[in-house]
A and B are shown apart, each in its own frame.
Chain A
């Protein structure tokens, strides 16, 4: 790979076009790009470590997501973490950074919780919405896109209020 690749920022249109072509290949092999399903399975696997057999008493982890470490969607997320780490190290952009203000920690915590609850309620995440269901012209894609646009608008208004103090 040319060294220039790690020096300049890549045009996102080029990056996303390449990802789209790869996503079509993935769609033919196993299914379209998704992140939420893999994250849920990871949640189940982590919960199993802490709770053991107790986890089976929660019907969700029997009927919807039975913990399985060979669930392929997990490895998309782990791959993204690995790819980003390699990219950041080779471009000398890797460094440990922390949110500075308490308000940032609070917003990230609430935001993370809402993302997790939202993904499970909908059965889809933003990636499945825009890179799976939407392009498959699934009815759920239009519901999900309407929902995320409305949510992003409300979130942006809240964010603006916080920025303005």
Chain B
């Protein structure tokens, strides 16, 4: 596909995503922060359902050698980078998606967060240019490189190649685990709702008759 075709598909995809996220008020930050701080799971459930669909879809296509999976080595930097990101997104009150979506709604704070994300990226480029870590994609081998704190590359397709088990089998196991988490959240919500009903009922009964 030509570069222009890729950009066009990406723009159409992004436009639909922006519209759906704006209309649903979905927020990845809230999916994690609200579950941790407020024990509410509106966004967490949506995230889990999407991951179940994606896991089954991606691994089904990886089984038959289709799709364009991400291809680069991972390591300590992957954990550390997302740790820093996780702290940042809660402080900023927005993630990479919601900064764009909220900016589209006229939120100047989100635009400010976006600008400083760019600044952060530029500052990191200065740091990287001084120490060359983590390794540049061209120097990645796909194998563990402990000296550079890299674990290499592995996904459902490489598991299929090494073990001879179709990628979709691993996908079904992961989807099953995600479903169990989803079901546990639903049960917790039902228990919360039941406690709320009981508390309301006893408060009503405790009121003196006129």
Q: Is B58 engaged at the interface, CB distance under 8 Å to the other chain?
A: yes
Q: Which residue of B lies closest to A77 (CB)?
A: B100
Known: A20-B54, A112-B114, A140-B78. A118 touches B108 (CB 8 A): no
Contact A18 B36 (CB under 8 A): no
Contacts of A16 in B (CB 8 A): 20, 24, 26, 46-47, 49-50
Contact A110 B122 (CB under 8 A): no
State A20–B37 Cα separation when bound (angstroms).
27
Known: A20-B50, A114-B120, A147-B79. A107 touches B91 (CB 8 A): yes
Known: A115-B113, A139-B74. A79 touches B69 (CB 8 A): no
A-contact 0/1 string along B144-162, CB 8 Å cutoff: 0000000111111101000
Contact A136 B91 (CB under 8 A): no
Q: Which residue of B lies closest to A12 (CB)?
A: B46
Contact A35 B100 (CB under 8 A): yes
Q: Which of A112-131 contact B (CB under 8 A)?
A: 112-131
Q: Which of B22-74 contact A (CB under 8 A)?
A: 22-26, 28-29, 32-33, 36-37, 42-43, 45-47, 49-51, 53-55, 57-59, 61-62, 66-70, 72, 74
From A10, A30, A88, A155, give the contact of B91 (CB < 8 A).
Answer: A155
State A78–B23 Cα separation when bound (angstroms).
17
Contact A99 B108 (CB under 8 A): yes
Contacts of B210 in A (CB 8 A): none
Chain B interface mostly: helix
Contacts of B14 in A (CB 8 A): 75-83
Contacts of B55 in A (CB 8 A): 134-135, 137
Sorting the interface of chain B by its residue count into under 10, 10 to 19, 20 to 34 or 35 or more gives 35 or more
B-contact 0/1 string along A153-165, CB 8 Å cutoff: 1111011100000
Contact A116 B124 (CB under 8 A): yes
State A20–B14 Cα separation when bound (angstroms).
12
B5 to chain A, nearest CB (A): 9
Known: A24-B57, A27-B67, A64-B137. A112 touches B95 (CB 8 A): no
Q: Is A63 engaged at the interface, CB distance under 8 Å to the other chain?
A: yes
A-contact 0/1 string along B171-191, CB 8 Å cutoff: 100100000000000000000
Known: A16-B50, A28-B68. A80 touches B18 (CB 8 A): yes
Q: Which residue of B lies closest to A9 (CB)?
A: B25
6 more contacts with CB within 8 A, not counting A83-B21, A139-B153, are A28-B66, A30-B6, A84-B100, A131-B54, A139-B74, A149-B86
Interface residues, chain B, with chain A CB atoms under 8 Å away: 1, 3-4, 6-26, 28-29, 32-33, 36-37, 42-43, 45-47, 49-51, 53-55, 57-59, 61-62, 66-70, 72, 74-75, 77-97, 99-109, 112-126, 128-129, 132, 134, 136-138, 151-157, 159, 167, 170-171, 174
Q: List 7 A-B contacts (CB under 8 A).
A: A12-B25, A17-B53, A84-B100, A111-B93, A131-B54, A137-B156, A152-B87
Interface residues, chain A, with chain B CB atoms under 8 Å away: 5-6, 9-36, 39-40, 42-44, 46-47, 58-61, 63-65, 70, 72-88, 91, 93-99, 104-105, 107-140, 143-156, 158-160
